[in-house]
Structure 1
Amino acid sequence: MVTESSHSQLTRRSFLIHSTQALIGLATISVPDLCLAKIPEKRTLSLYHARAQKALTLTYANGKQYNPKALARINSFLRDYQTGQVHRIDPKLLDILWAVQREIGSKGVFKVVSAFRSPQTNRQLRRAKSGVASHSLHMEGRAVDIQFSGADLGQIRRCAMDLQTGGVGFYPKSNFVHLDSGDYRTW
């Protein structure tokens, strides 16, 4: 037999369980994903590829919808310029760039030092330089090394660290910040 007081306890218990589950679910959403859920605006990036000496500005998403044609153009633009190989760039990586740009409060241009790398290019870089990961997220289209006009490297780093999504590597001697869509970590 359920009395009114036991019924209200079950309701309270049910409320607490559902509330806890909702909070746990929110904790697993990355900051850009959470921001995008609230922002139905167009997301535009301006990129300049240092190796190719080419620029690209385009809107790659509107609200939660990604533009497949724009993503294909970005895939081609961020290809491995040593081999010419094109690879899918993770849209979450683009969202991280967009969130950094938004937090910095600038309509600047991302100067791309390195984006997708084929395994061949990654091996060559590992032989030539220290600090290049053998299983780099660059090879999965999930990492980019950048500068940003209108912001110094330290500001980019702090902003990306505040977002706490993806990897943030700081390379002041090489003049770039590494961002990736992997687990949150810094170096």
Structure 2
Amino acid sequence: MKSGDRRRLLVSSAAAALSATAVGLGAATAAAPLRAALGGGLGDSPARSDLSRWPRELWITRPEAQESVRAVYWADGALQPEGCRAIDRIYRDLRAGVERPISTGLLNLNYVMQCAVAQCWSARPMVLLSGFRTPQTNRQVGGVEPSVHFTGKADDYIYAGLSFQDNLRLAWLFRVGGLGVYPDRGSLHKDVGRARIWVQHGRAASSGPDPGLRLGAGR
């Protein structure tokens, strides 16, 4: 099997195994569906480990702030305050200097996607372009209101080193709530709000179940 085909198979299998509870508050674990899909690639078999206690670490960089963090936000069956604070900090509204707790559902979604990236390509950080926003900042950047960025349930991001098409395939397979595609910026939006999809070129946006997305071969 070719490397590209293997990657697509692994990501597709992982996405198929991802359930809604994997990114919900109080979910048993985000590692379980990915572990099942990848044949135990994340450690011991489910029969020999308590998956709800499996540590979950996120690796995030924020170029605009020249910051990077690797933080364990979940371990021993509970959220880890120190790790959560580090993630809340890097997700802060940089213009307003304000931070708020980031949704556990979004953290779990990021964790599952990060595991898929590490398995199918190599371990690398998520490049965070926008996280929590105050209403004032949202207006300044031309965001839609009300925005899920207000509640810490959304981010704009990209995985550096992956083509935009591979980033888009990954986002499409793991979509849970909103998926926004910004080809001109080379970035994506994801959230754990209501399900919706849109593509924006400049200031013009189209939306719908599949608003002109092209997920075939390409860069």
TM-score (norm 2): 0.64
Find the aligned partners of 2:124 and 2:30 in 1 and give their Cα distance.
20
Match of 2:124 among 108, 113, 118: 108
Find the aligned partners of 1:84 and 1:72 in 2 and give their Cα distance.
15
Q: Are 2:30 and 2:111, in contact at CA under 8 Å, matched by a contact in 1? A: no
Find the aligned partners of 1:89 and 1:120 in 2 and give their Cα distance.
19
Point out where structure 1 has 5 or more consecutive residues left out of the alignment: 1-27, 127-131
Find the aligned partners of 1:123 and 1:159 in 2 and give their Cα distance.
29
Q: Does residue 161 of structure 2 align to residue 145 of structure 1?
A: no
Partner of 2:20: 29
Identity, % of aligned positions: 28
Corresponding residue SS for 1:156: helix
Partner of 2:38: none
Match of 1:54 among 67, 77, 82: 67
Distance change >3 Å, CA 164–CA 147, structure 1 → 2? closer
Q: Are 1:161 and 1:186, in contact at CA under 8 Å, matched by a contact in 2? A: no
Structure 1, 160-169 or 86-95: larger mean CA deviation: 160-169
- How does 1:129-140 map onto structure 2 within 5 Å? 132-140=143-151
The Cα offsets for residues 101-158 of structure 1, whole Å up to 9 and x where unpaired, read as: 22222311111111111111011112xxxxx211111111111111113322322222
Deviation at 1:71, TM superposition (A): 0.8
Q: Which has the higher contact order (CA 8 A, sep 6+)?
A: 1
- Radius of gyration: which is bigger? 1
Find the aligned partners of 1:60 and 1:35 in 2 and give their Cα distance.
12
Deviation at 1:63, TM superposition (A): 6.3
Match of 2:177 among 152, 158, 166: 166
Structure 1, 63-72 or 53-62: larger mean CA deviation: 63-72
Deviation at 1:183, TM superposition (A): 2.3
The Cα offsets for residues 56-113 of structure 1, whole Å up to 9 and x where unpaired, read as: 1111112642212211121122111101011111111111111112222231111111
Point out where structure 2 has 5 or more consecutive residues left out of the alignment: 1-18, 36-50, 199-219
Q: Are 1:31 and 1:163, in contact at CA under 8 Å, matched by a contact in 2? A: no
Q: Are 2:30 and 2:112, in contact at CA under 8 Å, matched by a contact in 1? A: no
Q: Are 2:154 and 2:190, in contact at CA under 8 Å, matched by a contact in 1? A: yes
Number of aligned residue pairs: 156
Q: Which has the higher helix share?
A: 1
The Cα offsets for residues 12-60 of structure 1, whole Å up to 9 and x where unpaired, read as: xxxxxxxxxxxxxxxx834545763736232111111121111111111
Q: Are 1:166 and 1:179, in contact at CA under 8 Å, matched by a contact in 2? A: yes
Distance change >3 Å, CA 88–CA 155, structure 1 → 2? same
Q: Are 1:167 and 1:183, in contact at CA under 8 Å, matched by a contact in 2? A: yes
Q: Are 2:131 and 2:149, in contact at CA under 8 Å, matched by a contact in 1? A: yes
Partner of 1:87: 100
Q: Cα RMSD over matched residues? A: 2.2
Q: Which runs of 4+ in 1 moved over 6 A?
A: none
